[in-house]
Amino acid sequence: MESAAIGIAGVFGVFGAGLGLGAIISPEWAARLVRMQADPDRPEGYAEFRATFGGVFLFLHLAFLASIFLDQGVIGAAAILSFGWGGAALGRILSLALDGEKVRTRHNYVSIGVEALAAIAFALPVANFVINPPA
């Protein structure tokens, strides 16, 4: 179970790193993906997309993938990413509950599904560690 759980989390590690890389390369793509837009009169908005949606996503997920390959800290890294993705899902769910009809869009429901799946995928190695601790 351990290697399967880490493998599933690894797939989502590549997915998250890919999202980050895409945002670094094309902040316009990231803006469309998250349904936001940088203000053309304030070009530093593109830097924000590259930094938060790009750099943070890319390097957090690369750190997790490195922990797999180096066989060091996989459980801790997986826990951090699980909480991060879970927090994103929770924030979006709260938005659906508190922000009215205008946010109840297909995009938000699909995003909750993706965020929840990623949170679960990264939680699998953690759960396996808790259920089957090393001797």
Residue range 1-13, pLDDT digits in tens? 678 999 999 999 9
CA dihedral 80, 83, 85, 86 (to 10 degrees): 170
Residue with tokens 């953690």, as numbered in its chain: 126
- Sign, CA torsion 44/50/53/59: negative
pLDDT value of residue 64: 93
Residue range 11-67, pLDDT digits in tens? 999 999 999 999 999 988 988 998 888 777 876 777 788 888 888 889 899 999 999
* Per-residue burial over 55-80, b = 16 or more CB atoms within 10 Å of its CB, e = otherwise: bebbebbbebbebbeeeeebbebbbb
SS3 36: coil
Residue range 65-112, pLDDT digits in tens? 999 988 888 999 999 999 999 988 998 899 889 888 888 889 889 999
Given a contact cutoff of 8 angstroms between Cβ atoms, the answer to whether 122 and 9 are in contact is yes
Round the average pLDDT of the chain to a whole number and report it.
88
User: Closest by alpha carbon to 123, among 18, 12, 22?
Assistant: 12
